[in-house]
Amino acid sequence: MVAVKQEGWSSRTAFILAAVGAAVGLGNIWRFPTLAGENGGGAFVLIYIACVVLIGLPLVLSEVLVGRNGRTDAYHSAEKLATDSNVSKGWASFGGIGISAAFLILTFYSVVAGWVLYYVGVFIGDFFGNLTSGAPFAGALAGETDIPKRMTDLFANNTLLLSMHTIFMFLTIAIVARGVTDGIEKAATYLMPTFFVLLVCITIYGAFVGEFGKAIAFLFTPDFSKLSASVVNEALGQALFSMSVGSAALITYGAYVPNETKLAPTAGMIAFADTGVAILAGLMIFPIVFAVGLDAAAGPTLVFQSLPIAFQTMPAGSFVGLLFFVLIFFAALTSSISLLEAVVAWAIKKFQCSRAIAAWGVGGVIFLVGVACALSLNIWSEVRILGFWGIFADANIMDTIDGFVGKVLLPVAALITTIFIGWKADKKLVDDQTSLSGGKLAFYRFLTAWISPIAVSLILIFGLFPSLLA
Ligand code: PFF
């Protein structure tokens, strides 16, 4: 038996960087602009912000406080608060559901992050190709006529898909295996500031060479005719995914927070940074997309197909394209680290094993399920793991896992969390952890006990029965 040492962040800043790293990920850069693009821009952004403030933020605070109160993994932290509150351990199920969600998210997240890695490679080759041909600032992928094919070629090439997935998982595991301070915190301390610098630089680049005004109008002019119940539902689901709510990562990271750190302002910073990055990502991507007259509502191919086409004709496109994909890669890596850590922290406690064994063991299993996700892009595209269930009848393995997590696990975990914290958990324990008092505390309690349960129930119901919205 290995003694499990109590780990922790070395400072409040370290926690903020790691938690913002967990929150800011593919969801902000790949999904948010895509959703805003498909759902009419400004109106979606407004609803999104309302969801963040009224539902996401209180849930972030609730999750982090469960972790800090428990000082262990999500499952056991939830159990501790239930026990301390003298209520059934059933209320702690959100910890276990969250850990399962983290496990499943990482299986497909790593595959998508692998695509990003592939594009990093493509742009490195392109940049150095341009460099050696004496035109370092030429457009990206110069001379290539069929860029959209790059994505379809990648999806058809299993060796490439699996190699990228392998490299990405290897990196994630290697960092988590080094521990909270030496691995996770160190990675966040380097990657997140670099990420922010790149984000700001590419946005400024887009403002100068792209159609910035059009992007602003697109993202901020609300067109309420585009709003529907399903768009609102989509915005709320995205807000929760983007802030990493319901997936044990925040509870796990909360367990490492120093006692003197005030949790409410810290949760506010996480929510603010996550939303700010999502909006900035829109302001980074759309000026470039509009500059070459591409479709803002291209959907999931926006980043992997439209942008490489745009970079082809932009000044210094190969260089900026490279920076752009490095930026997404950093965002994806810090999120994957948090997903793996959520499961690893549990495994260390459950199996009383060393961190290294837990990280490589759990990471290895996630890697294998990820292989199935990667193969579902081609040779297993017809495999249906939940084919009997109407909403998943046409979904391949990767889409089924993504859908099951987003429609079932995350909302169920968030719902149990908010009801537990709002109604069942010991009020004094919760209130002391929040660092709130007076009107702010009352508002947090109101949102947690009333608004979140209703809103999250609606996501759950409409996600499972989409025909109700038709
Ligand atoms: N919030 C991340 C994103 O927006 O990409 C995804 C994520 C990370 C979800 C960690 C859940 C989690 F625990």
Give tens-digit pLDDT for 58-82: 999 999 999 999 999 999 999 999 9
Give tens-digit pLDDT for 148-180: 778 888 999 999 999 999 999 999 999 999 999
- Distances 2 to 53, 80, 184 between C-alpha atoms, Å: 42, 22, 21
Is the minimum distance from the CB of 251 to ligand 1 under 6 angstroms? no
The pLDDT of residue 223 is 81
Which atom of ligand 1 approaches the CA of 332 most closely?
Answer: 5
Distance 99 CA to ligand 1 centre (A): 13
Which atom of ligand 1 approaches the CA of 410 most closely?
Answer: 11
From CA 126, how far away is CA 130, in angstroms rounded?
A: 6
Distance 135 CA to ligand 1 centre (A): 39
- Residue with the smallest CA separation from ligand 1 atom 11 is 244
Element (H, E) at 162: helix 158-177
SS3 186: helix
Distance 349 CA to ligand 1 centre (A): 23
From CA 465, how far away is CA 79, in angstroms rounded?
A: 31
Is the minimum distance from the CB of 242 to ligand 1 under 6 angstroms? yes
The pLDDT of residue 1 is 47
The pLDDT of residue 5 is 61
Is the minimum distance from the CB of 339 to ligand 1 under 6 angstroms? yes
The ranges of the chain with pLDDT < 70 are 1-5, 136-140, 142-143, 145, 470
From CA 102, how far away is CA 250, in angstroms rounded?
A: 11
Distance 24 CA to ligand 1 centre (A): 7
From CA 344, how far away is CA 291, in angstroms rounded?
A: 44
Q: Is the pTM of this model over 0.85?
A: yes
The pLDDT of residue 323 is 97
Distance 23 CA to ligand 1 centre (A): 5
Which atom of ligand 1 approaches the CA of 342 most closely?
Answer: 13
Distance 105 CA to ligand 1 centre (A): 8
